[in-house]
Amino acid sequence: MGCALLKRSVVFVFKSGAPRKTQRFFEKHGGKTIVLARFVPIVRTFAPFVAGVGTMKYRNFVVFNIVGAFLWTSLFIFSGYFIGNIPVVKENFEIVIMVIIFISVLPMVVKYITRVGKVNLWNW
């Protein structure tokens, strides 16, 4: 790989073979990963970096990033317009915000419980 990051002293961050696996992953799933990353808070932060390590073509990255941005923005504009006009939502907007925050954090909590607590939530 020609990645300057991998040639420097921070190469210890990556497991052996991880950049090649990343490259293969982005060749196969790169577009949908960039689009869907917009909708996942933590993934949104790291997707561009990982796409670069995976040597995703810049043109493809830009196109999928624009598509993701358009979908993400449209979803929130239209859902805000339609859901915001419901009287119950208008009257209890603080509760709606708390529910949105809870739903956003829930995947991380589940992952923490399953990894640290050694609990398999899917086989109860």
Question: Under a CB-based contact definition with an 8 Å cutoff, are residues 16 and 6 in contact?
Answer: no
SS3 of residue 124 by DSSP = coil
Domain residue extents for the chain: 17-85, 91-124
**Whether residue 1 has pLDDT greater than 70:** no
Please report the sign of the dihedral spanned by the C-alpha atoms of residue 73, residue 48, residue 63, residue 28. Answer: negative
pLDDT for position 8: 53
SS3 of residue 118 by DSSP = coil
Higher pLDDT, 41 or 66: 66
Whole-prediction pTM value?
Answer: 0.58
Higher pLDDT, 9 or 62: 62
pLDDT, tens digit, 9 for 90 and up, residues 12-60: 455 556 667 777 777 777 788 888 888 877 777 878 877 877 778 889 8
CB under 8 Å to 87, separation ≥6 — which residues? none
Q: What is the mean pLDDT of the chain?
A: 77
The number of helices, as runs of H, and strands, as runs of E, in the chain is: 6, 0
Phi-psi region of 16 (alpha: psi -120 to 50; beta: other; left: phi over 0): beta
How far apart CA 92 and CA 87 sit, in angstroms, is 9
pLDDT for position 15: 57
pLDDT, tens digit, 9 for 90 and up, residues 67-118: 999 999 999 899 888 888 889 888 888 998 899 888 888 878 887 787 776 6
